[in-house]
Amino acid sequence: MFEFINSFGFSTADWAISILCGLLIGAAKAGVSGTGMAIVPIMAMVFGGKPSTGIVLPMLIIADLFAVRYYNRHAEWKYVLKVMPWAIIGVFIALAIGHYVSDAIFKSALSLSVLVGITLMVWQDIRKSLIVPDGRWFAAVLGLAGGFATMIGNAAGPIMALYLLSMRIPKLVFIGTGAWFFLLINLFKVPLHIFVWKTITLKTLAFNIILAPAIISGVFIGIRIVKIIPEKPYRILVIGTTIVSSLLLF
């Protein structure tokens, strides 16, 4: 077993960082929204930009499966169906131009747009006059952005958080709806990573299996955290972690 682990050539620090990222992914998928976004820059530093996207994707899917299993009954499919077609288009756009777009430029633009959206939403909350945007165009814009972001760097978390927060849905509906969206879009991306970008291999999948216990532990930790946080503090937590995670993209 130890020989197999050593075959990856990772340092102790690399393994510690990877385990921490597994815990964060699990917690994020269980509803502690935004925490998983920290893994985007961290894993990119350890494995490189594009390779890290293929390494992280199966980790996300493992956590997605547990999140869907636990929060399935709370999902609102109308929100998933509004945004999913546009997200798929966004994925293909990213696939087509991914070789030419700088990760740094894209992530900076993504971060700025999310921060502007969060700022406007908080301002409207303070004034008690939040206006929910029209479902069609709002879902189209954020769906395209989310699909592009999730393919480029598994970084659609803040975008979906903004979309679902603007719907002002309860926290369990927020988590369940997001869980189904990300499970479906992440499964859709798998063959593209295998056959087009070639960022998922047997070796990366073996690495994912080693980290599975950390991911699953993170899921259960996240479930416990969500249970003890009331609705209003939960909304504040999501907004706060989304802001922090967006800043990490710069």
pLDDT value of position 101: 72
Q: Is the dihedral of CA 39, 44, 50, 52 positive or negative?
A: negative
Read off the pLDDT of residues 73-113 as tens digits, 9 standing for 90 and up.
899 999 999 999 999 999 999 898 877 777 677 667 666 76
Read off the pLDDT of residues 12-64 as tens digits, 9 standing for 90 and up.
888 998 999 999 899 888 887 667 767 877 887 788 778 888 999 999 999 99
Contacts of 188 (CB under 8 A, 6+ apart): 88, 91
157 pLDDT band, cuts 50/70/90, is: confident
In 10 A of CB 129, how many CB atoms? 8
pLDDT value of position 51: 85
Judged against a pLDDT cut of 70, whether residue 1 lies above it is answered with no
pLDDT value of position 106: 66
How far apart are the C-alpha atoms of 53 and 150, rounded to whole Å?
9
Collapsing DSSP states into helix, strand and coil, what is residue 241? helix
Contacts of 141 (CB under 8 A, 6+ apart): 86
Helices (H), 127-170: 135-153, 157-166
φ and ψ of 209, to 5 deg: -65, -40
Which tokens go with 131? 């206006």
Read off the pLDDT of residues 2-13 as tens digits, 9 standing for 90 and up.
555 666 677 888
Please say whether the beta carbons of 207 and 51 come within 8 A. no
In 10 A of CB 31, how many CB atoms? 27
The pTM of this model reads: 0.85
